[in-house]
Homo-oligomer: A and B are copies of this chain.
Amino acid sequence: MISVKMNELVKNSSAIRAMFEEGKKMAAKYGKENVYDFSLGNPSIVPPATVKQAIFDILNEESEMFVHGYMSNAGYEDVRKTVADYLNKTHGTNFDEGNIVMTVGAAGGLNIALKAVTNPGEEIIVIAPYFGEYDNYISNVDGVRVVISPDIERFSINFEELEQKISPKTRALIVNSPNNPTGVVYGEEDIKRLAAVLEAKQKEYGTTIFLIADEPYRELVFGGAKVPYLTKYYKNTFVGYSFSKSLSLPGERIGYLTIPSEMEDFENVVGAVSVANRIMGFVNAPSLMQRVIGRVIGQTSDVSVYEENKNILYKALTEYGYSCVEPQGTFYMFPKSIIPDDKEFCETAKQYHLVLVAGSTFGCPGHFRIAYCVDKQTVLNSLDAFKKLAEHYKK
């Protein structure tokens, strides 16, 4: 009785969620401390104490009608101004409140950006490996997904293939850096090259190609890695941001979209994004959480925990014979599976109580994802299991 499209989706549901459910079952069977569940990208560290304080202060200082009330579909003007000012200070940009639309997480932001610009049948490019939900977001607007195959040497962008696959029907390209699942950060050179390719193709076809940057991991970077702010390199860029990871607030669904004034047809695009926020049923980002952001912008949870976990895992796994591009951010890494069949590899991993997600889930077979947003002790305890898993295939 459900729709045909949904029937398939329900059957397959989320492979990541499925592994997570599997992990819970294993924990029940073997004891939680004996299962190393690296399946879900769920922050493992508490929000900064200032979040709680901000909520108390807001409820004590501001009117309830204002704090819980309707505002413009784009969000509270003062909060948007605060976000703009923060971005300007951090990235040397020149935004004001008109460039910011508060959204229901980055997922909400990406959906309304796609809704605003996509006509049915237009092509949306994704770069493998990529977060599988993009497929659904593209399908929501009847777009056609085009996948760029992975550059498995360094998990940057396969530029030759990108140039070949951009067509007159290309409407947008989704990029995600710091990247889920690889942990790679696109450096400035890559971004400049990307911008040049897009500019050239726009000119060649006389079209507008939007770059949609999905950036929930922007602050989760290691060794001082720099994440270029993409609107500075390419004017037709939407930046989708979420506070889910940086402030450990994934359940609250709070984020924003940045839309630079230089974007073609800027006024209409901003109008369309606001209307999309309304008509897709979001209406506006949750109001109290918007006001919280207005007070804690620029702060983060203690994300150094993730770097520590990465260091432990990367060192150990490479010693055990795993091959892996070293992550520069996020809380993911994406090593090669010891055998080409990544699904079988993840099945075998379960024998050693390791819950991992197969690379195929991200459009990149032969690899697997470790979500190391877990406590350090779990990482340390898991090392022997990773060692045995590698040895399993050397027998």
A281 contacts across to B, CB distance below 8 A: 104-105, 107-112, 137, 140, 280, 282
A208 on interface, CB distance cutoff 8 Å: yes
| A268–B70 CB distance below 8 A | no
A23 on interface, CB distance cutoff 8 Å: no
Interface-facing stretch out of A3-11, A153-161, A190-198, A348-356? A3-11
| A1–B269 CB distance below 8 A | yes
| A1–B282 CB distance below 8 A | no
From residue A245, how far is it (CB to closest CB) to chain B in Å? Answer: 11
A46 on interface, CB distance cutoff 8 Å: yes
From residue A293, how far is it (CB to closest CB) to chain B in Å? Answer: 13
From residue A114, how far is it (CB to closest CB) to chain B in Å? Answer: 9
Known A104-B253, A107-B283, A268-B1: A6·B64 in contact at CB below 8 Å: no
* Cα-based distance from A137 to B55 in the complex (angstroms): 33
Nearest chain B residue, comparing its CB with the CB of A271: B10
Nearest chain B residue, comparing its CB with the CB of A72: B17
Known A65-B248, A288-B288: A104·B3 in contact at CB below 8 Å: no
| A108–B282 CB distance below 8 A | yes
A13 on interface, CB distance cutoff 8 Å: yes
Interface-facing stretch out of A93-101, A115-123, A221-229, A302-310? A115-123
Nearest chain B residue, comparing its CB with the CB of A6: B272
Q: Which residues A257-306 have CB closer than 8 A to chain B?
A: 264-265, 268-269, 271-272, 275-276, 278-290
| B68–A287 CB distance below 8 A | no
Partner of A265, one of B1, B109, B275, B285: B1
From residue A94, how far is it (CB to closest CB) to chain B in Å? Answer: 21
* Cα-based distance from A217 to B311 in the complex (angstroms): 54
Q: Which residues A108-159 have CB closer than 8 A to chain B?
A: 108-112, 115-119, 133, 136-137, 139-142
A6 contacts across to B, CB distance below 8 A: 115-117, 272, 275-276
| B68–A249 CB distance below 8 A | yes
A205 on interface, CB distance cutoff 8 Å: no
A65 contacts across to B, CB distance below 8 A: 46, 248
A206 on interface, CB distance cutoff 8 Å: no
| B253–A283 CB distance below 8 A | yes
A365 on interface, CB distance cutoff 8 Å: no
| B279–A133 CB distance below 8 A | yes
* Cα-based distance from A105 to B70 in the complex (angstroms): 12
Known A116-B2, A137-B281: A55·B64 in contact at CB below 8 Å: no
* Cα-based distance from A137 to B282 in the complex (angstroms): 11
A268 contacts across to B, CB distance below 8 A: 1-2, 7, 10
A394 on interface, CB distance cutoff 8 Å: no
From residue A309, how far is it (CB to closest CB) to chain B in Å? Answer: 17
Known A140-B279, A281-B104, A281-B111: A252·B1 in contact at CB below 8 Å: no
| A3–B108 CB distance below 8 A | no
* Cα-based distance from A272 to B7 in the complex (angstroms): 7
Q: Can you name 6 A-B pairs with beta carbons within 8 Å?
A: A6-B117, A9-B272, A42-B69, A109-B281, A111-B281, A253-B283
Residues of A within 8 A of B (CB): 1-7, 9-10, 13-14, 40, 42-43, 46-47, 51-52, 55-56, 59, 64-65, 67-71, 104-105, 107-112, 115-119, 133, 136-137, 139-142, 208, 248-253, 264-265, 268-269, 271-272, 275-276, 278-290
